[in-house]
Amino acid sequence: MLKILKYSFFDLMRSRWSYIYFIFYLLMGFVLLFLNNDVDKAVITLLNIIIILTPLIGTVFGIMYYYTSKEFTELLLSQPLKRSTIFIGQYLGVAISLSLSLIIGLGIPFLIYGIARSSSIFNFTSLLIVGGFLTFIFVALSYNIALAFNDKIKGFGFAILLWLFMAVIYDGILMIVMMSFQEYPLDKFALGAVMFNPIDLSRILILLKLDISALLGYTGAVFQKFFGTGRGMLVSLSMLTLWVLLPLWNLTRIANKKDF
């Protein structure tokens, strides 16, 4: 698994798209710090970008890497290797390389700014953790979709649709439900609904860390009311971890049954 991870990692690190992804976050970090002297404001701006862009990049890179390396994967499958070893190794290579591009790209400008000596370092670290979680989650989901569809067009289409649903449509449906049934107590429903969207969980995790009640929204305010800041963060991190583990378990299950 480590050899496959290493190959996938360096294969992606040599890709020009990895450099574009890294340079984008590098430049964005410098621009935001130039326009904002307040690091917390820069973190909030980055949050709005990361929770949308990171899942999209993770989804596209994950499914693109699977289809472009399909012949190499079939060669590996002909060797005496466990299927779970092959696919988890490839998955980790993709997810780790994307996470490093994000962390290093944003880390360099903020370190130059002096974030290590600032009280905002914990907020910035939380942002990077959330970005890493979203990368691992959506790369895992994209691999599940790629294994389910042999047709590349269908796989890409379903992957983009999944990202669009999680990033935009889910919140719209939740808002419509809240407005339609506002006469009823929907606190527990809101808590349950937010657990099924890692993007919403990530947003609430950062906003709870920043303790900005005005930006939490309805579900975030309910989350803070029920769990408080400390417990709310613990529940959010636990659910994000589950969002990583469940797709990985399903990935190995599909890979062991699939006829290649």
Tens-of-pLDDT digits for all 260 residues of the chain?
778 777 777 777 777 778 888 898 899 888 888 887 777 777 778 878 888 899 999 999 899 988 988 888 888 878 887 888 888 888 998 999 999 999 999 889 888 887 777 777 887 888 889 999 999 999 999 999 998 888 889 999 999 999 999 988 888 888 888 788 877 777 777 777 878 889 888 877 777 666 554 455 555 566 666 655 667 677 778 889 999 999 999 988 888 887 76
Number of domains in the chain: 1
Cα separation, 223 vs 190, whole angstroms: 8
Q: C-alpha distances in angstroms, 84 versus 4, 103, 236, 238, 248?
A: 11, 27, 28, 24, 10
**Residue 214 pLDDT:** 47
Looking at the domain assignment, is residue 196 inside a domain?
A: yes
The answer for residues whose C-beta is within 8 angstroms of residue 4's C-beta and 6 or more apart is 76, 85, 86, 89, 90, 93
Looking at the domain assignment, is residue 215 inside a domain?
A: yes
Cα separation, 194 vs 201, whole angstroms: 6
Looking at the domain assignment, is residue 186 inside a domain?
A: yes
Range of the domain at 135: 2-255
Cα separation, 103 vs 97, whole angstroms: 10
Cα separation, 238 vs 235, whole angstroms: 5
Phi-psi category of 15—alpha, beta or left, where left has phi over 0 and alpha has psi -120 to 50?
Answer: beta
CA 211 centroid distance within chain: 22
**Residue 17 pLDDT:** 79
Cα separation, 260 vs 247, whole angstroms: 20
Looking at the domain assignment, is residue 260 inside a domain?
A: no
The answer for residues whose C-beta is within 8 angstroms of residue 151's C-beta and 6 or more apart is none
